[in-house]
Amino acid sequence: MEAQSEFCDEKFAVVDESVSEEFAGFKVGWRKHPLLRCEIENEAIVEIEVRHRQKAVGFQAMVFLVVPVRLCEPSDLVGRRAMRNELAEWSPSVRVLKALVRAFGVASRRHRYDMVRLLCD
Protein backbone atom coordinates (compact mmCIF):
# COMPACT_ATOMS: atom_id res chain seq x y z
CA MET A 1 0.00 0.00 0.00
CA GLU A 2 1.59 3.31 -1.07
CA ALA A 3 2.09 6.26 1.29
CA GLN A 4 -1.00 8.39 1.91
CA SER A 5 -0.99 11.90 3.35
CA GLU A 6 -4.59 13.01 2.68
CA PHE A 7 -7.70 11.22 3.88
CA CYS A 8 -11.37 11.64 2.94
CA ASP A 9 -12.58 12.36 6.47
CA GLU A 10 -10.01 15.17 6.81
CA LYS A 11 -10.28 16.65 3.31
CA PHE A 12 -14.06 16.65 2.79
CA ALA A 13 -16.73 18.04 5.10
CA VAL A 14 -20.44 17.52 5.55
CA VAL A 15 -22.21 20.79 4.73
CA ASP A 16 -25.50 21.92 6.24
CA GLU A 17 -27.53 24.35 4.15
CA SER A 18 -30.64 26.10 5.36
CA VAL A 19 -33.27 27.53 3.05
CA SER A 20 -36.14 29.92 3.68
CA GLU A 21 -38.71 27.20 3.03
CA GLU A 22 -40.94 25.60 5.67
CA PHE A 23 -42.96 22.41 5.67
CA ALA A 24 -45.61 21.57 8.29
CA GLY A 25 -44.05 24.02 10.74
CA PHE A 26 -40.47 22.75 10.18
CA LYS A 27 -37.66 24.72 8.56
CA VAL A 28 -36.29 22.90 5.54
CA GLY A 29 -32.56 22.32 5.32
CA TRP A 30 -30.18 20.15 3.35
CA ARG A 31 -27.19 18.17 4.50
CA LYS A 32 -24.68 17.38 1.77
CA HIS A 33 -22.38 14.41 2.26
CA PRO A 34 -19.24 13.90 0.15
CA LEU A 35 -19.48 10.72 -1.94
CA LEU A 36 -16.50 9.22 -3.76
CA ARG A 37 -17.30 6.43 -6.24
CA CYS A 38 -15.14 3.90 -8.03
CA GLU A 39 -17.08 1.88 -10.60
CA ILE A 40 -15.51 -1.43 -11.51
CA GLU A 41 -16.95 -2.08 -14.95
CA ASN A 42 -19.79 -4.64 -14.88
CA GLU A 43 -18.72 -5.90 -11.45
CA ALA A 44 -19.39 -3.59 -8.51
CA ILE A 45 -19.18 -0.05 -7.15
CA VAL A 46 -16.99 0.97 -4.22
CA GLU A 47 -18.11 4.13 -2.42
CA ILE A 48 -16.65 6.26 0.34
CA GLU A 49 -19.12 8.56 2.08
CA VAL A 50 -18.52 10.90 4.99
CA ARG A 51 -21.49 10.47 7.37
CA HIS A 52 -22.49 10.83 11.01
CA ARG A 53 -20.55 8.50 13.26
CA GLN A 54 -22.49 5.39 14.17
CA LYS A 55 -21.83 5.47 17.92
CA ALA A 56 -20.28 8.86 18.65
CA VAL A 57 -20.44 12.56 17.90
CA GLY A 58 -19.04 13.85 14.62
CA PHE A 59 -18.50 12.39 11.19
CA GLN A 60 -16.57 9.46 9.77
CA ALA A 61 -15.71 8.06 6.37
CA MET A 62 -17.66 4.91 5.58
CA VAL A 63 -16.81 2.42 2.83
CA PHE A 64 -19.63 0.71 0.94
CA LEU A 65 -19.57 -2.09 -1.62
CA VAL A 66 -22.50 -2.11 -4.05
CA VAL A 67 -22.92 -5.50 -5.73
CA PRO A 68 -25.44 -5.94 -8.56
CA VAL A 69 -27.87 -8.70 -7.59
CA ARG A 70 -27.74 -9.99 -11.17
CA LEU A 71 -24.17 -11.16 -10.47
CA CYS A 72 -25.16 -13.26 -7.45
CA GLU A 73 -26.12 -16.91 -7.27
CA PRO A 74 -28.82 -18.11 -7.52
CA SER A 75 -29.23 -16.19 -10.76
CA ASP A 76 -33.03 -15.76 -10.41
CA LEU A 77 -32.89 -13.28 -7.50
CA VAL A 78 -34.02 -10.28 -9.55
CA GLY A 79 -37.78 -9.73 -9.67
CA ARG A 80 -38.84 -11.99 -6.82
CA ARG A 81 -39.03 -12.04 -3.04
CA ALA A 82 -36.29 -13.76 -1.14
CA MET A 83 -37.19 -16.97 0.65
CA ARG A 84 -36.70 -17.18 4.42
CA ASN A 85 -33.03 -17.83 5.28
CA GLU A 86 -32.09 -17.72 1.59
CA LEU A 87 -28.46 -16.90 0.92
CA ALA A 88 -26.93 -15.26 -2.10
CA GLU A 89 -23.35 -15.87 -3.16
CA TRP A 90 -20.98 -13.53 -4.95
CA SER A 91 -17.24 -13.82 -5.52
CA PRO A 92 -15.31 -10.56 -5.95
CA SER A 93 -12.66 -10.25 -8.63
CA VAL A 94 -9.11 -9.11 -7.91
CA ARG A 95 -10.05 -5.68 -9.34
CA VAL A 96 -12.87 -5.31 -6.80
CA LEU A 97 -10.62 -6.39 -3.92
CA LYS A 98 -7.92 -3.90 -4.98
CA ALA A 99 -10.50 -1.10 -5.17
CA LEU A 100 -11.73 -1.97 -1.66
CA VAL A 101 -8.21 -1.97 -0.24
CA ARG A 102 -7.54 1.38 -1.94
CA ALA A 103 -10.83 2.80 -0.53
CA PHE A 104 -9.99 1.75 3.02
CA GLY A 105 -6.50 3.16 2.52
CA VAL A 106 -7.79 6.67 1.74
CA ALA A 107 -11.02 6.80 3.77
CA SER A 108 -9.38 7.73 7.09
CA ARG A 109 -6.16 7.27 9.00
CA ARG A 110 -7.89 4.67 11.22
CA HIS A 111 -9.26 2.72 8.22
CA ARG A 112 -5.77 2.75 6.69
CA TYR A 113 -4.16 1.59 9.93
CA ASP A 114 -6.66 -1.27 10.23
CA MET A 115 -6.17 -2.30 6.57
CA VAL A 116 -2.37 -2.29 6.89
CA ARG A 117 -2.62 -4.47 10.03
CA LEU A 118 -4.91 -6.93 8.22
CA LEU A 119 -2.67 -7.15 5.17
CA CYS A 120 0.54 -7.57 7.20
CA ASP A 121 -0.71 -10.28 9.58
pLDDT in tens, 66-97: 999 889 998 888 888 888 999 999 999 999 99
pTM of the model: 0.80
In which region does residue 70 sit, left (phi positive, over 0), alpha (psi from -120 to 50) or beta (all else)? alpha
Q: Is the pLDDT of residue 108 over 70?
A: yes
**What integer is the mean pLDDT of 93-107?**
94
pLDDT in tens, 49-59: 998 877 777 88
| Cα 22 from Cα 111, distance rounded (Å) | 39
**What integer is the mean pLDDT of 12-38?**
92
Helix (H) or strand (E) holding 105: helix 94-107
pLDDT at res. 51: 85
pLDDT at res. 1: 63
